[in-house]
Chain A
Amino acid sequence: MSLLLVVLEQGAQKWHKMSWEAVAAGQQIAQQAGMSMASVVIGQCVAAMAAEVPGKVFAIEHALLEHYTADGYTAALAELIKAEQPALVIFPHTYQVRDFAPKLATRFGQVLISDVTQVKAAPGTVTFVRQLFQGKLNADVSGQGGVTFMSVQAGSYRADQMVAGPPEVQVVTPVLDASAIRQKPEAPFRESTRAVDLTAADIIVSVGRGIKEKDNIHLVEELAAAMGAELAASRPICDNGWLPMERQVGSSGQTVSPKVYMAIGISGAIQHLVGMKGSKTIVAINKDPNAPIFEVADYGICGDLFEVVPALIDEVKKARG
């Protein structure tokens, strides 16, 4: 029976929550494809954490793995993969995985099939579904033999569907050479304490590229004020300095789940969607009927925001009396 490995992520002895989505994905795919499954946890001292993972789990421990480095993690995992010869290795698609998994795959003459949203698995065949063009299109991708590396997009598998089971921890100590670890990481930090806590807002009015220029931002500010909403933005708006970074929603900003999320002129690239798709009600206003934001929207208006938003401000004011 061929082996499927799931690599979990921890930092400073805390689990990355996407680890459990990856385990759930691994369990389902192993069952569909008729594979056996084992998990992997990496760090300086992670055997105790590994005991929280159901089933067979390798705890790769080494003093040089206390802090994440691309070189250290790649070397440690390459050694395990050579020894265990898995057919499929699954990662959560985190920033850290993006930093080292492609390097690891290269060592085995492979690519990382990254950011996978769905896996079509049957005995002997596995096809991966991933998004192209910022979510506008999907593609079926398959490996061509050898070990296949893939990462699962946030939210594609549900952590609560993970099947519990007794742990079976095996501690592994890799041979690592300190001089071969070229990156020297410093302690992580936050830029400043956040003045804006978007996660507490009931209504969020969020603006994207469709607003075209800084001088138009006042339009969405007026709408937010009329609705009693917090103002937020997609990454490009903050990149341009039109709104402060602390108002950014998405994978590099805040993750929100308000009662209503109004996406105005936001196309809905996956980096944005992961930050807001848990909202109770999603409203999309966009001129492109094919924009991926409409995939997640409960209510949509396909039209010119420069006409729709002023009309909305009037209607909201009327409705609130």
Chain B
Amino acid sequence: MKIIVAIKQVPARDSQLKIQSGGQWIEEDDLTFEINEPDAYALEEALQLKEKHGGEVVALCLGPARAASTIREALAKGADRAIHISEESINGLDTLAVAKLLAGAIKSEAPDLVLTGLQSDDLGYGQAGVVLAELLGVPHATIIMQVGIEGGTLRVKRELEDGWFQFVTMPLPAVLTIQSGINKLRYATLMGIKKAKTKEIKVLTAAEAGGAGAAVSTLDRVYVPQRTKVSTIFEGDAKSTAAQLVEKLKFEVRVL
């Protein structure tokens, strides 16, 4: 069973974001980057499926040179090898372009299963996996909380809204987008980190991955949202702010 996991490197969660002077994107120089969290769950799911069914896990990442650290981490956690589509200016790419490049790299690998996170924490379009499936001509399911494989058939648990779930079966090969919380993430071991250094990372240019094509949507401007609600922010130390809040809750909201 060959599983490809598409992972993305995004700014660390608690980053203080500053907008570039042209308003086109954020300043990246002072940021630290990490694996997109839902993709970490997708990677873990792939590793667990390999442990159960045997085979190979290939990490696939589209990103600039800095993405190499996230790829190394995936290898340290247990991916067997990696493909890095090296592209410095990924922020100008729309999701169709991203999926085209991923599909270009995946086609010659002919995997049984492609996993990715349900959305990215930066752009948050939540569709790379679905578009990828359409481009590869294979079935898909999204927001997956459980993956079962029997023979050539996939039976997955889809999360619906409001606490509902549903099982869906489909033939392999297929693409699944994985929901955070589907499994428990592992840490890389010292041995894993050591081993990762010897694992293969194939680097492709965008052209070698088939090219991204022309943009069909553009990100025109990035800006800080305007506050629509007038909030009262209490000033002072912990004791004083707590006292001010309780005063409001008791005498204005009247719930205490």
| A binding-site residues for B, Cβ under 8 Å | 70-71, 94-96, 98-103, 105-107, 109-115, 127, 130-146, 182-191, 194, 202-203, 209, 227, 235-236, 238-240, 245-246, 251-255, 259-260, 280-281, 283-284, 288, 290, 292, 294-304, 307-308, 310-312, 314-316, 318-320
Chain A residue nearest in CB terms to B228: A295
- Which of B50-58, B66-74, B160-168 makes up part of the contact surface? B160-168
Contact of B164 among A136, A183, A189 (CB under 8 A): A189
Residue B26 CB within 8 A of the other chain: yes
Chain B residue nearest in CB terms to A314: B242
Q: B142 to chain A: which residues have CB within 8 Å? A: 95, 98-99
In contact, B233 and A102 (Cβ under 8 angstroms): no
Q: A103-B134, A133-B122, A295-B225 are in contact. Are A110 and B216 (CB under 8 A)?
A: yes
Task: Report the Cα distance A253→B13, complex, angstroms.
Answer: 22
In contact, B245 and A283 (Cβ under 8 angstroms): yes
Contact of A106 among B96, B123, B222 (CB under 8 A): B96
Whole-angstrom distance between the Cβ of B238 and the nearest chain A Cβ: 4
Given contacts A114-B126, A115-B124, 14 further A-B contacts (CB under 8 A): A98-B118, A99-B142, A103-B130, A115-B126, A139-B223, A236-B181, A254-B163, A281-B253, A292-B225, A294-B231, A299-B233, A312-B246, A315-B239, A318-B246
| B binding-site residues for A, Cβ under 8 Å | 11, 13-14, 16-17, 19, 26, 94-96, 99, 118, 121-127, 130-131, 133-135, 139-143, 158-171, 179-181, 214-225, 227-229, 231-234, 237-239, 241-243, 245-246, 248-250, 253, 255-256
Contact of A252 among B123, B161, B225 (CB under 8 A): B161
Q: B13 to chain A: which residues have CB within 8 Å? A: 209
Task: Report the Cα distance A303→B233, complex, angstroms.
Answer: 11
Chain B residue nearest in CB terms to A209: B13
Chain A residue nearest in CB terms to B121: A134
Chain B residue nearest in CB terms to A135: B225
Q: Which of A98, A127, A194, A294 has the most CB of B within 10 A?
A: A98
In contact, B127 and A111 (Cβ under 8 angstroms): yes
Chain A residue nearest in CB terms to B11: A133
In contact, B219 and A311 (Cβ under 8 angstroms): no
In contact, B134 and A111 (Cβ under 8 angstroms): no
Q: B232 to chain A: which residues have CB within 8 Å? A: 298-300
Q: A70-B141, A144-B218, A316-B246 are in contact. Are A184 and B170 (CB under 8 A)?
A: yes
Q: A138-B223, A186-B166, A301-B241 are in contact. Are A315 and B246 (CB under 8 A)?
A: yes
Q: A183-B141, A184-B170 are in contact. Are A308 and B241 (CB under 8 A)?
A: yes
Contact of A255 among B121, B140, B162, B237 (CB under 8 A): B162
In contact, B96 and A113 (Cβ under 8 angstroms): no
In contact, A144 and B180 (Cβ under 8 angstroms): no
Q: B181 to chain A: which residues have CB within 8 Å? A: 235-236, 238-240
Q: A315 to chain B: which residues have CB within 8 Å? A: 239, 242-243, 245-246
In contact, A137 and B167 (Cβ under 8 angstroms): no
Q: A106-B134, A109-B96, A281-B253 are in contact. Are A139 and B222 (CB under 8 A)?
A: yes
In contact, B163 and A295 (Cβ under 8 angstroms): no
Q: B228 to chain A: which residues have CB within 8 Å? A: 295
Whole-angstrom distance between the Cβ of B30 and the nearest chain A Cβ: 15
Task: Report the Cα distance A1→B242, complex, angstroms.
Answer: 58
Contact of B229 among A109, A296, A320 (CB under 8 A): A296
Task: Report the Cα distance A253→B224, complex, angstroms.
Answer: 28
Q: A302 to chain B: which residues have CB within 8 Å? A: 233
Chain B residue nearest in CB terms to A131: B124
Q: B127 to chain A: which residues have CB within 8 Å? A: 98, 101-102, 111-112, 114
Whole-angstrom distance between the Cβ of B214 and the nearest chain A Cβ: 8
Q: A103-B133, A308-B238 are in contact. Are A184 and B168 (CB under 8 A)?
A: yes
Chain B residue nearest in CB terms to A210: B14
Q: B246 to chain A: which residues have CB within 8 Å? A: 312, 315-316, 318-319
In contact, B217 and A141 (Cβ under 8 angstroms): yes
Q: B229 to chain A: which residues have CB within 8 Å? A: 295-298
Task: Report the Cα distance A267→B136, complex, angstroms.
Answer: 36
In contact, A109 and B216 (Cβ under 8 angstroms): yes
Contact of A303 among B17, B133, B238 (CB under 8 A): B238
Task: Report the Cα distance A185→B218, complex, angstroms.
Answer: 35
In contact, A260 and B163 (Cβ under 8 angstroms): no
Pick the 3 closest A-B CB pairs, nearest first.
A239-B181, A102-B127, A311-B242
Task: Report the Cα distance A235→B41, complex, angstroms.
Answer: 14
In contact, A99 and B125 (Cβ under 8 angstroms): no
Chain B residue nearest in CB terms to A260: B255
Q: A106-B96, A138-B222, A187-B166 are in contact. Are A182 and B139 (CB under 8 A)?
A: yes
Q: A134 to chain B: which residues have CB within 8 Å? A: 121, 124
In contact, A95 and B216 (Cβ under 8 angstroms): no
Task: Report the Cα distance A146→B139, complex, angstroms.
Answer: 26
> Can you offer 18 A-B residue contacts whose CB atoms are under 8 A?
A99-B141, A100-B130, A106-B96, A114-B125, A134-B121, A139-B219, A141-B217, A144-B216, A185-B166, A190-B165, A191-B163, A191-B165, A227-B255, A294-B227, A300-B233, A307-B237, A312-B246, A315-B242
